[in-house]
Structure 1
Amino acid sequence: MQYLPLFVKLTDKAVLIVGGGSVALRKAGTLLSAGARLTVVAPDFATEFLQWQQQGKAELIQGYFQPALLDGKLLVIAATDNDLVNAQVYDAASARNMLVNTVDDQPKCGFIFPSIIDRSPIVIAISSFGTAPVLARRLREKLEALLPQHLGPLAELVGRFRDNVKAKITGFAARRQFWETVFNSDVVRDVQANRLPQAEQKLTALLAEPQSLAGEVYIVGTGPGDPELLTLKALQLMQQADVVVYDYLVSPEIMELVRRDAERLCVGKKAGAHSVAQQDTNQLLIDLALSGKKVCRLKGGDPFIFGRGGEEIQALLPHNIAFQVVPGVTAAAGCAAYAGIPLTHRDYAQSVQFVTGHCRPDGSEPDWHSMSRTNQTLVIYMGLMKAAHIQQQLISAGRSSAVPVAIIENGTRREQRIITGTLSQLADLVTQHDVSSPALLVIGEVVSLQQDLHWFGQRAQAAVFAQPLTHIA
């Protein structure tokens, strides 16, 4: 992070602008809207500057920059069309440890102007650190269309109640839970409909109700790794949680979307190395929820497809703990799509079977004959350690040794690898290419389409990560 985002109170603070043209004018308008006291120095001034001088909003000095003009100023903006003058302003201000912005010259900026979305008192700033201002502006335009106009009045309303809420409700977590209730209530709808007196009455009634800290658990599937595959519901609950309990399979990019001040607890779970036993994870969820926490349990893929989400919910039920389940894009669907492998195809596979490479609790073998049918796609989760055994049993059960297979490592992620071959080569492919978890095995005739549809996987990967995926045949 090259710049620290800050919101600076400029009311009646002295700011110097060097330059009187259109570029300086745009900066001046932004600063005046924040209440700054402007001094502008330039040989000539745009008409608006003269009008602001008449209105007492700006002091104009006709002439050229002198370092003495920096005295008593909080911020300095160099906005001339002369690079030498701009550099002189930057050097003089920097020598005094003053914050200076040189327009359209990012290396000579101690601070930068972001693109602003104004829903006062809600203000959103977007910046590219001066490297791509047009891109930042386009992002602002998209967010402007998404953010409703009633955010400002809503913020003003709740701001008037802030002291009362703090006086009645003890503890940050309890207050935050109260405000979450408010923002999910009819108060918001009344503000949106410009029924402000009704909204205030309902907010008063909510505050008068007895307050209790009720815990809840969110079982959330995060998909195979690409953060753009998250559902809106998943993102919403990730932002509401007090505590996030996560596995190693949850990608770092997704963890970056968790609420900044939420406590984060890793419960491990890598193939062959479960750092926290499942029963201990279950008890952790129970203890956190009973203490009044909003707990977000993040799982790679989908929580109900080899994610043990059902077991965790069963553990919550005897304690009457409220829960929500948010499905995720399962690894089979996500990884196959990014690799360009259709799981079903009218000519190649009329069914698909998801299985796990882990042994059953009683040690019994799966139904290899049902898994070995032709015209069926077999997707095996957590199958790396058992690759040789899987290969042997499928061939013994009648599956052709020449049937295509794909190993998808880190599917949908930046470092995705696709390794293809035949069933007879499966174990050797895992060893030769040093495949590591997370990885998915796809076995079936549909894998033969991967070469023809490889462009799809490349395009999907490039669209998200702006780099080609790795493919090994």
Structure 2
Amino acid sequence: MTQSPAKLNAFPVFMRVEGEAVVIVGGGDEAFAKARLLGQSSARIVVLSDRLDPEFAAWIEAGSATHVEAVYDPARLEGAVLVFAATGDAVQDRMVSEDARRLGIPVNAVDRPELCDFFTPALVNRAPLAVAIGTEGAGPVLAQMVRARIDRMLSPSLGPLASLAETFREAAEAFMPKGVARRRFWREFFSGAPARAMERGELGEARRAASELLAQDEPAHGHVALVGAGPGAEDLLTLRAHRHLMEADVVLYDALVPEAVIAMGRRDAERLPVGKRKGCHSKSQAQINTLLVSLAREGKRVVRLKSGDPLVFGRAGEEMQALRDAGISYEVVPGVTSAFAAAADFELPLTLRGVTSSMVFTTGHDLKGKSLPDWAKLAISGATVAVYMGRSVAADVASRLIAAGLAPDTAVAVVENASLADRRKFHGTLADLPSLEQRTDLSGPVMTIIGDAVAGANFTGSEPLARSIRANRADAQDFKESVA
């Protein structure tokens, strides 16, 4: 289970400063840095200091701010919406901070977090679009590093595009019904022809394309994306999966998908749990199929969020067939399946030159019948076997494979909560595998990997399935005798 995200001690907001006075107390480098940051806004910057560094003075002289040449007087703070204490002197900054708070004005004291009511962010400016990055004063250099990355990602045309959007807002609200249709318009506006024209610097063409988009009178067409959420860790979600989550009107998610992954989607998207766990089905597969078709026919963009990969034990085949039969457009977005995550946790090569060149995915329940499935023969011939959801049938898996001829000392690796911070790893042999059924402390999803390639894993941080090497050998002998 993923941990809940840490709580913010400083909540980010955007404050209106147009035409308002912002007072900076100080005349050195620290004050100049804050003045340049504020210079990206339409605030009325007032610098209060009896002295100025030459470069700062030249900047002010160019008309970027107003200089009040005087010794500090708390009366000069009155009427300001924000105050910055940037004198470089700890005692003076504390005095400014205390005076501002007494006057009810939010204050920031440079490099003194304990004196701050707010923190200035590292800013990516695509006015009117702005991205602010903050660390609550803990790591300004980190904030600047993140800012540099985001700055490279965002096109300079986003600012003019956002300004153009403002001119269409009233018309969109008047002609587009609230909900799916209006979201579709804005999605096309910011990612379709208007955005492409603005990238080329063609404002007139962007305006024409937006007008044509507004005039379209076609009913919204629904779409379903069967999306792999990966094994649990949110940073293993693919970029394409994240894009679909951000565009979704409705998200139908499985029980094993962590809240941290679901939260990566649009905050106002409808979220419907439809998960199925052993002994607890919130909806039948037929009900899920019907719901997918119904939501898409309403014109909604639907994400069916599945743990791991949709095409690996995800019953995606039944959902795709239902969508095909109903004439609903859909697509599949692959995810990292749990077998790969478990192998990565163990640094385990699923294929290994000279040892194995094939692998098998199974749920273990395939071994419950009287006849041995074909994949068991592959296991015996050396294939790596990945067993999903196999804790409750571990003894059955082990006994059937040993009876079929797989050596009891074949290496086994087991991971609970693969990819997550609270994962647990176990190792042993096929003869040790039945002990999994007695592990009442394992509440998360369990993945088991069996095969000679497992011997090449890194067992650091892994617990033995059996108590000792001697116990392993005794259990293996017992198993040989019991299945003979």
TM-score norm. by structure 2 comes to 0.89
Which residue is 1:14 aligned to? Answer: 21
Which residue is 2:481 aligned to? Answer: none
| Equivalent pair of 1:270/1:437 in contact (CA under 8 Å) | no
In the TM superposition, what is the alpha-carbon distance from 1:371 to its structure 2 partner? 4.9
Which residue is 1:306 aligned to? Answer: 313
Indicate the SS of the match to 1:89: helix
| Equivalent pair of 2:359/2:385 in contact (CA under 8 Å) | yes
In the TM superposition, what is the alpha-carbon distance from 1:278 to its structure 2 partner? 1.6
Check if 1:138 corresponds to 2:129: no
Determine the C-alpha separation between the residues in 1 that align with 2:451 and 2:14: 57
* 1:298/1:336 CA distance change after superposition, 3 Å: same
Which residue is 1:64 aligned to? Answer: 71
In the TM superposition, what is the alpha-carbon distance from 1:421 to its structure 2 partner? 0.6
Determine the C-alpha separation between the residues in 1 that align with 2:115 and 2:365: 58
1:289 to 285, 296, 303: 296
| Equivalent pair of 2:227/2:303 in contact (CA under 8 Å) | yes
Which residue is 1:448 aligned to? Answer: 455
| Equivalent pair of 2:394/2:436 in contact (CA under 8 Å) | no
Determine the C-alpha separation between the residues in 1 that align with 2:204 and 2:256: 48
Indicate the SS of the match to 1:385: helix
In the TM superposition, what is the alpha-carbon distance from 1:61 to its structure 2 partner? 3.0
Check if 1:329 corresponds to 2:336: yes
Check if 1:33 corresponds to 2:33: no
Which residue is 2:476 aligned to? Answer: none
Determine the C-alpha separation between the residues in 2 that align with 1:139 and 1:120: 19
Determine the C-alpha separation between the residues in 1 that align with 2:371 and 2:276: 23
TM-score norm. by structure 1 comes to 0.91
Determine the C-alpha separation between the residues in 2 that align with 1:270 and 1:5: 38
* 1:231/1:133 CA distance change after superposition, 3 Å: same
2:175 to 153, 168, 174: 168
Which residue is 2:395 aligned to? Answer: 388
Indicate the SS of the match to 2:276: coil
What letter is aligned with 1:133? Answer: P
Check if 1:183 corresponds to 2:174: no
What letter is aligned with 1:240? Answer: E
Q: Deviations over 1:35-91 (max 9, x none)?
A: 222222223112344345545553333343333222111101011111111111222
| Equivalent pair of 2:379/2:451 in contact (CA under 8 Å) | no
Q: Deviations over 1:323-373 (max 9, x none)?
A: 121111111122212321111101221210111123599997634742541
**Number of residue pairs matched by the alignment:** 457
Indicate the SS of the match to 1:440: strand
What letter is aligned with 1:167? Answer: A
Indicate the SS of the match to 1:182: helix
The share of aligned pairs that are identical, in percent, is 39
Indicate the SS of the match to 2:256: coil
In the TM superposition, what is the alpha-carbon distance from 1:435 to its structure 2 partner? 2.4
Check if 1:358 corresponds to 2:365: yes
Q: Deviations over 1:280-318 (max 9, x none)?
A: 222221222222221111111110111111111111222
* 1:399/1:433 CA distance change after superposition, 3 Å: farther
* 1:86/1:329 CA distance change after superposition, 3 Å: same
Within 5 Å, which residues of 2 pair with 1:94-133?
A: 94-133=101-140
* 1:118/1:394 CA distance change after superposition, 3 Å: same
| Equivalent pair of 2:411/2:451 in contact (CA under 8 Å) | yes
Which residue is 1:92 aligned to? Answer: 99
Indicate the SS of the match to 1:386: helix
Indicate the SS of the match to 1:244: strand
Q: Deviations over 1:135-173 (max 9, x none)?
A: 110011111111111111222222222222221111133
| Equivalent pair of 2:360/2:386 in contact (CA under 8 Å) | yes
Determine the C-alpha separation between the residues in 2 that align with 1:361 and 1:96: 76
Which residue is 2:468 aligned to? Answer: none
Which residue is 1:269 aligned to? Answer: 276
* 1:368/1:154 CA distance change after superposition, 3 Å: closer
Which residue is 1:462 aligned to? Answer: none
In the TM superposition, what is the alpha-carbon distance from 1:190 to its structure 2 partner? 1.7
Which residue is 2:345 aligned to? Answer: 338
* 1:220/1:363 CA distance change after superposition, 3 Å: farther
1:80 to 87, 90, 99: 87
| Equivalent pair of 2:364/2:389 in contact (CA under 8 Å) | yes
Determine the C-alpha separation between the residues in 1 that align with 2:330 and 2:421: 32
| Equivalent pair of 2:387/2:447 in contact (CA under 8 Å) | yes
What letter is aligned with 2:204? Answer: P
Which residue is 1:471 aligned to? Answer: 462
What letter is aligned with 1:124? Answer: V
Report the more deviating stretch, 23-32 or 134-143.
23-32
In the TM superposition, what is the alpha-carbon distance from 1:204 to its structure 2 partner? 1.7
Which residue is 2:469 aligned to? Answer: none
Determine the C-alpha separation between the residues in 2 that align with 1:244 and 1:151: 28
Check if 1:152 corresponds to 2:159: yes
The alignment yields a C-alpha RMSD, in angstroms, of: 2.2
Check if 1:421 corresponds to 2:428: yes
In the TM superposition, what is the alpha-carbon distance from 1:430 to its structure 2 partner? 4.7
| Equivalent pair of 1:369/1:398 in contact (CA under 8 Å) | no
Indicate the SS of the match to 2:319: helix
In the TM superposition, what is the alpha-carbon distance from 1:431 to its structure 2 partner? 2.4
Report the more deviating stretch, 237-246 or 58-67.
58-67
Indicate the SS of the match to 1:253: helix
What letter is aligned with 2:463? Answer: I
Structure 2 residue runs of 5 or longer lacking an equivalent are: 1-7, 465-484
* 1:319/1:432 CA distance change after superposition, 3 Å: closer
Moved segments of 4+, more than 4 Å: 52-57, 359-365
Indicate the SS of the match to 1:111: coil
In the TM superposition, what is the alpha-carbon distance from 1:420 to its structure 2 partner? 0.3
Determine the C-alpha separation between the residues in 2 that align with 1:159 and 1:365: 66
